[in-house]
Amino acid sequence: MIRNTFRLISNVSRPTFVSAKQSPFMSRNYGTLSEKEITDRVINIISNYDKTQGKTVTPTTTFKELGLDSLDAADILVAVEEEFGIEIPDEDADRIASTAETITYLRKTPTAK
Amino acid sequence: MSQKEIVLHLYRSFLRASNKFSSYNFREYALRRVATGFRENKNKNESETKDLIKESMKDLEMVKRQSLINSMYSKNKLVVE
């Protein structure tokens, strides 16, 4: 009886063991968002900001080109934080100065949603 | 850390804290007040900014406290939301 039970457990547990062993070879998960989706949402946030009304925002525009100062950039980054449900640490936020850098940062953040 | 960085960090903390108000009117007022307040003092010299930083740290604590209290007594959303 005990042996039967043991065999049953080992039979059940074997497939999960095999699948767990494969996971290191799987590609690394960089979050579930596609690059296009991130780009669209970021551009939407930036073009809806008061001071960028009427200006065209492309993925390569820097905040300076849009006439934004560091306070405006902070406004935008906090809006991005809200949108994606993350918190960007101050050291990283200080370095972000363009649309492209925002998108790259979000690509590297797996918790972004 | 340069003074500019300190101010930017403060500004960001203010925005995050203000966003936590659950009442629409308080939240919008706090965001507007923070945005205008920081821009008003944009061109102040170094020693003036130093005093302002000290003052705003107290205000930041106040915003954090008030937004927490506000979220405890949250009500239904307004029509404008």
pLDDT tier, A61 (very low <50, low <70, confident <90, very high otherwise): confident
Query: How confident is the model at residue B35, as a pLDDT?
Result: 93
Q: What is the ipTM of this complex?
A: 0.81
Q: Is the dihedral of CA B74, B62, B33, A50 positive or negative?
A: negative
Query: How confident is the model at residue B7, as a pLDDT?
Result: 93
Residue B39 domain-assigned (yes or no): yes
Q: How many domains does chain A have?
A: 1
Residue B79 domain-assigned (yes or no): no
pLDDT tier, A4 (very low <50, low <70, confident <90, very high otherwise): low
Query: How confident is the model at residue A30, as a pLDDT?
Result: 54
Residue B80 domain-assigned (yes or no): no
CA-based R_g, chain B, Å: 14
Helix axis angle, A70-84 to B24-40, nearest 10°? 150
Written as six digits, the tokens of A78 are 């906090």
* B10: nearest CA partner in chain A: A90
Structure confidence by residue, pLDDT tens digits, A23-60: 444 445 555 778 888 899 999 898 888 888 888 888 88
The whole domain housing B16 covers 3-72
Q: Which amino acid is at B16?
A: R
Query: How confident is the model at residue A9, as a pLDDT?
Result: 54
The whole domain housing A69 covers 32-108
pTM: 0.77
Structure confidence by residue, pLDDT tens digits, A8-20: 555 555 544 444 4
Written as six digits, the tokens of A72 are 């405006």
- Residues A50, A67: contact at Cβ < 8 Å? no
Q: Which of B1, B3, B13, B15 to mutate to test the interface with A (most CBs of A within 10 A)?
A: B15
Written as six digits, the tokens of A107 are 């690509």
A71, A48, A43, A72: which is closest to A58 by C-alpha?
A43
Cα–Cα distances (Å) from A54 to A46, A60, A66, in that order, read 11, 17, 10
A69, A51, A57, A52: which is closest to A100 by C-alpha?
A57
3-class DSSP state for residue A32?
coil
CA distance B71 to B21: 6
Q: How many domains does chain B have?
A: 1
Contacts of B38 in chain A (CB under 8 A): 71
CATH number of the domain that residue A67 is part of: 1.10.1200.10
Query: How confident is the model at residue B16, as a pLDDT?
Result: 93
Structure confidence by residue, pLDDT tens digits, B11-48: 999 999 999 999 999 999 999 999 999 999 988 898 99
> Which residue among B9, B35, B42 sits closest to A90, beta carbon to beta carbon?
B9
